Amino acid sequence: MSKKSGIVDLSRRSLLRGAGAVGVAAIAGQALAQTAIDELINAPRRGNWDDQFDAQASRTVTAVASNTPMISGNSATNMQQAIAQYQSIVSNGGWPAVNPQVKLRLGVTDPSVQALRQRLMISGDLAQEAGMSNSFDSYVDGAVKRFQARHGLPEDGVLGEFTVKALNVSADVRLNQLNTNLIRLQSMSGDLGPRYLMVNIPAAYVEAVENDSVALRNTAVVGRIDRPTHTINSKIYEVILNPYWTAPRSIVEKDIVPLMQKDPTYLTRNNIRLIDGQGNEVSPESVDWHAPKAPNLMFRQDPGKINAMSSTKINFHNPNNEYMHDTPQQGLFNKLMRFESSGCMRVQNVRDLVTWLLRDTPGWSRQEIERVISTRQNNPIKLAQEVPVYIVYITAWSAKDQVVQFRDDIYQKDGDAQLALQANIGVEQVSGSLEDDMLPQ
């Protein structure tokens, strides 16, 4: 068996041919066996046979997941181990660039796969035993999916634009990123409490933590680059089921008035009522929508499915008029870039989170929460005990030993343009959206 650069060059095809020939030769002779194995390998419709053969490759992604909180008692220790690992990688020359001329995915054979294999081996995503070849086999597929999982990318095993960009961030830049975030993690090293929420802005997700374990992890949409979500340590004091939404003056002037000029039914269709200073409702028909100034009225949207906050609002103490809430635009949670709000945090499966928050507040079972939401009646609920919430900016961490996670430096705080992979991509905006800016009721 030949060796190249200390790596065993043993492809799956040679393994199958050798093993298959030995097994069948005892019955029908080696030549017949080789033909049978060749037919099996080259069969155009062998389905998922490769994936079944390399079943362990599909389990590499699950090895990245962890119920350990992003920030825990072991966070600093794990990060120091990661820093030592990356210092070693840097001192040994880093990893090669991956510049494929074709889109690399399972089944592709291309010379650039060798550089990809080497890159994934150095970062620990691909076992050395997988060897070197031009074949993008299921070992490489599993390694790419593991890499994507560690970088918050869709785990599809395909080298798309962002996967290639992430692969080509140099090892020394990643090392600096780890050192930067170690300082951030150390600043959170105190007692966070037995039960708390953690919102990580670059990862765009929420962790509900209890007894040093993640009870819930919810996908989130956070502030866009020009209107970022603020970092803060605070406490959640209130949940509002079926909240009202009050449009800020900027939305009234820039969006609602022009929409009313084009479509006088806009307010009625969106269940938005006009309220004067005495609390009286004003008819939209009585307003001159072409006047030089927007009317000095409150624009308040009724609770309901089309409400900008949908079913739920979660309030915490802060000076920035930011909070967590539901959204009628559930498709946003499926996007790679979830930096689209004006600072507030939209939370997927928010009712699971509300149930967890209200667990110690008498009378608020999941069944009762659902019943109240179905009434479409506004219902503020004070928590029996306020729950700490930590909104942080962490772009690199290691919740599990030897598993380092990276995210884009979306707000460009890490000091290197290479780390802001998505920052220059235009954020999709919806004209006239009622979710861009929101104030407490």
List, for residues 321-365, the tens digit of each pLDDT value: 899 999 988 888 988 889 988 899 999 999 999 999 999 999 999
Going across the sheet that includes 281-282, the strands are 245-246, 298-301, 272-275, 281-282
Element (H, E) at 325: strand 324-325
In 164-258, where do the E strands start and end? 195-200, 205-210, 213-223, 232-241, 245-246
d(CA 371, CA 139): 49
Which residues of the chain fall short of a pLDDT of 50?
1-58, 425-441
**Taking each helix axis from N to C terminus, what angle separates 12-28 and 30-42, rounded to the nearest 10 degrees?**
140
d(CA 151, CA 418): 14
Q: Enter the tokens of residue 268.
A: 């009625």
Sign of CA dihedral 114, 119, 121, 122: positive
Q: Burial letters for 29-38: b for 16+ Cβ neighbours within 10 Å, e otherwise?
A: eeeebbeebe
d(CA 10, CA 33): 20
pLDDT digits over 29-74, tens only? Answer: 444 444 444 443 344 433 333 333 344 444 556 678 789 999 887 8
Which residues are within 8 A (CB) of 239 and not within 5 positions of it... i.e. 6 or more apart? 312, 313, 314, 315, 354, 357, 358, 380, 381, 383
Burial of 285 (0-12, 13-18, 19+ CB in 10 A): exposed
Helices (H) and strands (E) in the chain, counts: 13, 17
Report the chain's C-alpha Rg in angstroms: 27
Pair 358, 380: CB distance under 8 Å:
no
245-246/298-301 β-pairing: antiparallel
d(CA 179, CA 306): 44
DSSP label at residue 334:
G
Cα angle for residues 338, 342, 344 (degrees, 5° grid):
80
**Which pTM was predicted?**
0.79
Q: Enter the tokens of residue 170.
A: 């140099």
Q: What is the pLDDT of residue 129?
A: 94
Cα angle for residues 302, 246, 309 (degrees, 5° grid):
65
Tell which residue, 255, 332, 315, 322, has the closest CA to residue 289. 255
Report the Cα–Cα distance between both ends of the chain, in Å, rounded: 72
Tell which residue, 147, 155, 235, 204, has the closest CA to residue 411. 204
The distance of Cα 303 from the centroid of its chain, to the nearest Å, equals: 29
Q: What is the pLDDT of residue 420?
A: 78
Residue 347: helix, strand or coil by DSSP? Answer: strand
The distance of Cα 64 from the centroid of its chain, to the nearest Å, equals: 14
Element (H, E) at 76: helix 75-91
Pair 111, 251: CB distance under 8 Å:
no
Other Cβ atoms within 10 Å of 305 Cβ, number: 11
Q: What is the pLDDT of residue 165?
A: 94
Pair 364, 381: CB distance under 8 Å:
yes
DSSP assignment of 358-401 = TTTSTT--HHHHHHHHHHT--EEEEEEEEEEEEEE--SEEEEET
CATH superfamily of the domain spanning 174-244+305-419: L,D-transpeptidase catalytic domain-like (2.40.440.10)
Instruction: For 95-169, give the CATH class.
Output: mainly alpha
d(CA 68, CA 399): 6
3-state SS of 279-323? Answer: CCEECHHHCCCCCCCCCCCEEEECCCCCCCCCCEEEEECCCCCCC
